[in-house]
Amino acid sequence: MHFFIRRATPIHVLLALLIPMLAHAADQARGRHQAAGKLTNGQYVERGRYLVRTSGCNDCHTAGYAESGGNVPEKEWLTGNQLGWRGPWGTTYPANLRLTMHEISEDEWIRAARTKQLRPPMPWFALRDMSDDDLRAVHRFIKYLGPAGSHAPAYVGPDETPAGPYVQFPAPPK
């Protein structure tokens, strides 16, 4: 048996190093994609619970959450708040997300999160920047909680005084 040994050119060395690295990188990317696409509903719910807890959703959308340091039972989460937020835009109220999510599909939620620009203090831009999987997780967690509570008070224009309690934002500097 004869083995031919050729002298490797720089291109052969480069290919010998790059091909396995590229194959490994493609394999890793395929695995990450499959893992993201194969979350069970329970995993989405757990991810949604985590996102809701750490993204500040409860701070406004759950009455008493911020004041109690987060010591509000989960069954009371995201039912809206009667405390208004007043500024030059008028007075807004944190929506009852449990009723809202009950009324819209997951795709409608993702579309709204990507396109709606809400009044302050809602950080709509944070929703816009979330991944589709994270938005799905939030939707599924809130749907998992089920509908509860009542709708938040209606928006009050800037020239009207709200009837209930509100937090007054200072006017912007001139």
Identify whether residues 98 and 152 lie together within a single domain: yes
Identify whether residues 122 and 94 lie together within a single domain: yes
b/e string for 79-92 if b means 16 or more Cβ within 10 A? bbbebbbbbeebbb
Question: Taking a C-beta distance cutoff of 8 angstroms, is the pair 82, 164 a contact?
Answer: yes
At residue 84, the 3 state secondary structure works out as strand
Token match 């690295």: residue? 21
Low-confidence ranges of the chain (pLDDT < 70): 1-38
Q: What domain count does the chain have?
A: 2
Domain that residue 110 falls in: 40-168
**Does a structural domain hold residue 125?**
yes
pTM of the model as a whole = 0.76
Q: How far is CA 164 from CA 65, 83, 85, 126, 151, in A?
A: 19, 7, 11, 28, 15
Identify whether residues 85 and 115 lie together within a single domain: yes
Identify whether residues 48 and 32 lie together within a single domain: no
Identify whether residues 21 and 61 lie together within a single domain: no
Token match 């990317």: residue? 29
Identify whether residues 34 and 46 lie together within a single domain: no
Per-residue model confidence (pLDDT) at position 91: 98
The Cα–Cα gap between 67 and 139 comes to 25
**Does a structural domain hold residue 3?**
no
Per-residue model confidence (pLDDT) at position 37: 58
C-alpha atoms less than 13 angstroms from C-alpha of 129 in its C-beta half-sphere = 5
